[in-house]
Amino acid sequence: MAISPVSFLHFLLLFLLNQPSSSSSSDHPQTFIIHVSKSHKPSLFSSHHDWYTSIIQSLPPSPQPAKILYNYNHAIHGFSAHLTPTQLAKLRLVPGILSVIPDQIRQLHTTHTPSFLGLSESSRLWQNSGYGDGVIIGVLDTGIWPEHKSLSDSGLSDVPANWKGICETGPDFPASSCNKKLIGARAFHQGYITQKGSPIDESKESASPRDTEGHGTHTATTAAGSLAHNASLFQYATGEARGMASKARIAAYKICWSSGCYDSDILAAMDQAIYDGVHVISLSVGATGHAPQYDHDSIAIGAFGASQHGIVVSCSAGNAGPGPYTAVNIAPWILTVGASTIDREFPADVVLGNGWVFSGVSLYSGDPLVDYKLPLVYAGDVGSRYCYMGSVSPSKVQGKIVVCDRGGNARVEKGAAVKLAGGLGMILANTADSGEELIADSHLLPATEVGEIAANKIRQYIKSDQSPTATILFRGTIIGTSPAAPKVAAFSSRGPNYLTPEILKPDVIAPGVNILAGWTGFVGPTDLELDPRRVEFNIISGTSMSCPHVSGIAALLRKAYPEWSPAAIKSALVTTAYNLDNSGKNIKDLASGEESTPFIHGAGHVDPNSALDPGLVYDMDTSDYISFLCAIGYDSNRIAVFVREPPSSDICSGKVGSPGNLNYPSFSVVFQSTSDVVTYKRVVKNVGSSLDAVYEVKVNSPANVDIKVSPSKLVFSAENKTLSYEITFSSVSLDWPTIIPSTFGSIEWSDGIHGVRGPIAVKWRQGSSRDSI
């Protein structure tokens, strides 16, 4: 029987791979994600899965046999496998292997908001989008609590015809768990259990899509929860709860487990979501530390694949603020969201024995303190200043209120430590890292959190008074303009962009502090094992909460404009974002108390109704992103993992330029000297109702920067719906350090109806690219 040349080469490869090689008992296996060229599959294999299986079977033997965890076909092409170093070395020799990346662990970025965002029954966006009916949001998180009333399908139309997903069942997740609201649910845990080395302990977490942590139910119902009456947490924030797109459908993909979220599982979920037919992916998960390089960031690579299928990928920026360069999920094809406050507070004031009163916040709901002031001590004087469990001396805190510094451990755990030691109350004291950011928690004992200024005065009072005393007064829920909102949360990760400073990140901010949404019935509101309480709704904070707000808004825009690309939807959100709080002043940063900047809040706070009619959009597609990768110095080998084909020597031909020339709706400029000149080109498309619109530009130049826009007038017509312009930034020739390290401004195109605003951030590079902001 004749053997084809392709078959002969394949069998020769198998022979070479199976030659003996030295290995040792220390040849410990690890999970890898293998990116493969789709076109390299030998013809004798009927499917890529068969080819991958053959490759794995051809590798040298080991005490722990190599195994495939997942096949990937849509987000990327390839597979994930558990391999020893010896096996990995042989695998790299296989033709068609583009890249091999170790499996990494990622972490979660842990009602009234529709009103704060201007969404109401009469709002244009809800009316024009039908509340997102028919749009499918894929929520990649900790799963879903299917019985929650925010997942009711009452009044919803049939499941969208394009949906191809399933409702994965299990002992605690029957087929009836899904309905016309929760149209699909799956769990992805092969990466997790392979790293864990043992099966899932179902007494602690469910292997099914059921949410036993709470985070996934919260994010899903924030994005697309149905209208739920009488929602509250212990009577705090009482009212109606509903998601941003209350008639959109939810597909829950469980990717996060007790130790975190593994890239192999995340990619498998993204791959499945693309196949299933989602329109938006909401992912409140990200890297720890600085953002990894795009070609080593599985979320970035998977999001690239999703964008090729027209899917908006909305991600949290991270909770590593307030330091610079902390934002993650910063690839330009991702919609990156920071966190801000809303105009709802849960005040709980500290009253000291000397009569001083300091504002704080709390969601405590148990018995109040006695009606007289109690002795007050600082935890640093009676044990650990952070009130670690078991670190506070019972003999020194019994019957007293304890001041615990924020940081080091969970906020509610500090109160639990005080309670177990016999303390009667806690004041959670902010340090410089958190500034004036106040996050309300459902404490296990009477407790409140105060800002850094108040905390310093309370500590000083304890030092100076021979018998310091205090009490805490809880004042329920207050909605209003004092304090002003929004403000940027101190924890919200921020720029400049760690990888590509010419791309401004985060893109926007959205509500992420003290957000009420659905919760699991498996654990209490604090997520602590010692918390016996069970709630239907919970109030928590994080960019994990801001991300699904924007995911839901993106779903509304997708419904209103089904032909828009993910980039056009992002552009509409960015160019219509606002920068003033509800008192009419510039948005402030809670970490510093000073005015926020585009490095902190991106373009500003999302404005859903304005995004419905942006006037102009900056659009981008796959070819633009490939040009961007070329501009940042990626060669054909590095780009191959995105295009999923063998390296092509001409992929960057004619595409060399500045990464700042990507058609992004914002501007980030890096000057190499005090007399540098940088020019970017942009293309805008008229999506307004007037075909003959004329837009003129208004420039708000950053300090020490001269800006020229050419042309300064854009005249659109039925024949010319898309026009281009150039914007030139010139550094004023002043000697360092006269020039401020970073300055900010904006340009705005206006036709008298629309204001299409693009934020500008300018940085001067001194030696290192990351020396200051």
Catalytic residue of the set 544, 596, 742, 746: 544
Please return the burial class of 176, using the count of CB atoms within 10 Å of its CB with bins 0-12, 13-18 and 19+: exposed
Tokens standing for residue 411: 């906020």
Residue 546 annotated as catalytic: no
- Token match 């009667």: residue? 424
Catalytic residue of the set 74, 80, 112, 141: 141
Report the interhelical angle of 298-308 vs 636-643 (nearest 10°): 60
Amino acid 154 reads S
CB-based contact 505:659 (threshold 8 Å): no
**Cα gap 326→303, rounded to integer Å:** 20
Q: Which residues pair with 262 in a beta bridge?
A: 105
**Cα gap 119→229, rounded to integer Å:** 17
Q: For residue 435, which of 602, 320, 594, 324 has the smallest C-alpha distance?
A: 594
Residue 284 annotated as catalytic: no
Q: Give the rounded distance of the alpha carbon of 413 from its chain centre.
A: 25
Amino acid 310 reads G
Helix (H, G, I), strand (E, B) or coil at 196: helix
Q: Give the rounded distance of the alpha carbon of 307 from its chain centre.
A: 16
Catalytic residue of the set 48, 82, 112, 215: 215
Residues 6+ apart with CB under 8 A from 559: 129, 130, 132, 133, 134, 135, 245, 248
- For the chain, what is the radius of gyration of the CA atoms? 27
Residue 141 annotated as catalytic: yes
Question: Strand locations in 149-263, DSSP E?
Answer: 182-187, 228-233, 236-241, 249-254, 256-257, 260-262
DSSP per residue over 439-504, as a string? -----SSSEEEE-HHHHHHHHHHHHH-SS-EEEEEE---EESSSS-S-EE-TTS---S-SS-TTS-
CB-based contact 245:555 (threshold 8 Å): yes
557-560 long-range contacts, CB within 8 A, separation 24+: 557/125, 557/129, 557/611, 557/612, 558/132, 558/135, 558/279, 558/280, 558/312, 559/129, 559/130, 559/132, 559/133, 559/134, 559/135, 559/245, 559/248, 560/125, 560/128, 560/129, 560/612
Q: How many CA atoms are closer than 13 Å to the CA of 663, on its beta-carbon side? A: 24
Q: Which residues are catalytic?
A: 141, 215, 544
